[in-house]
Chain A
């Protein structure tokens, strides 16, 4: 069965950095794009970034462009999110999620069909 396990969350000061990881199993990781979605305490879902299955396309939420970098290592079945220059408003639970469509190309998505349990990031002084 599909499993996604995030790690790397924690408490960091404003301006600091964290790297989140998402370990995937139960499917052919290299055939699917991956998303990061976050949820601030008591708030709704906010899509953050997407990386294509072959890493050829990456998309970002405007507020994280230039600060966050998504990457993947298909040989290790692992997705990453490098977060730099963190702000208080980045405080959230961060979920990795598998794109629904096999080897999706183009600018659309059919949604996130499997999600990890989330890792909590708290940015505070």
Chain B
């Protein structure tokens, strides 16, 4: 099975900061990498697929990059509503494993 490792597990940043979350796959997964945002008590929200394609309606301050085994989710200018936990997920083959999550807090 392909393992997904996110770092950091949590971070605290100020409004307006640039935030970067990293996701590493244990095997090459091309660009079959998705990102989700989850707020407490809510279902996850689909942010990015194919490593860098922004889902419709997602603010342009979110971006994704990477291929192979190393991927990045970037929030260019952190906003208060971005306080949430972010998960990566690979889509290369079953099981479609998620990373353990990165909790983003606002200072």
How far does the alpha carbon of A37 sit from the alpha carbon of B36 in the complex, in Å?
Answer: 13
Most B-side CB within 10 Å, residue of A44, A59, A117 = A44
Number of A residues near B (Cβ < 8 Å) is 25
Q: Once the chains bind, are B91 and A108 in contact (CB under 8 Å)?
A: yes
Q: Once the chains bind, are A45 and B96 in contact (CB under 8 Å)?
A: no
Chain B, residues 67-83, CB within 8 Å of chain A (1/0): the string is: 00000000000000000
Q: How large is the interface on B (under 10, 10 to 19, 20 to 34, 35 or more residues)?
A: 20 to 34
- Interface of chain B, helix or strand or loop or mixed? loop
Query: Which A residues are in CB contact (< 8 Å) with B43?
Result: 95, 115-118
Residue A25 CB within 8 A of the other chain: no
Residues 32-84 of B at the A interface (beta carbon under 8 Å): 32, 34, 36, 38, 43-46, 49-50, 55
User: Could you say which of A46, A60, A62, A115 contacts B98, with CB atoms under 8 Å apart?
Assistant: A46
Query: Which A residues are in CB contact (< 8 Å) with B89?
Result: 45, 47, 111-112
User: Could you say which of A60, A111, A116 contacts B91, with CB atoms under 8 Å apart?
Assistant: A111
Q: Once the chains bind, are B96 and A50 in contact (CB under 8 Å)?
A: yes
Pairs of residues from A and B, 6 with the lowest C-beta to C-beta distance, nearest first: A111-B34, A59-B94, A115-B43, A109-B91, A45-B98, A111-B49
B binding-site residues for A, Cβ under 8 Å: 1, 32, 34, 36, 38, 43-46, 49-50, 55, 85, 87, 89, 91-101
A binding-site residues for B, Cβ under 8 Å: 35, 37, 44-47, 50, 59-62, 95, 100, 107-118
A and B contact pairs by CB, cutoff 8 A, 10 listed: A44-B101, A61-B95, A108-B92, A110-B49, A110-B50, A111-B34, A111-B46, A115-B44, A115-B45, A116-B43
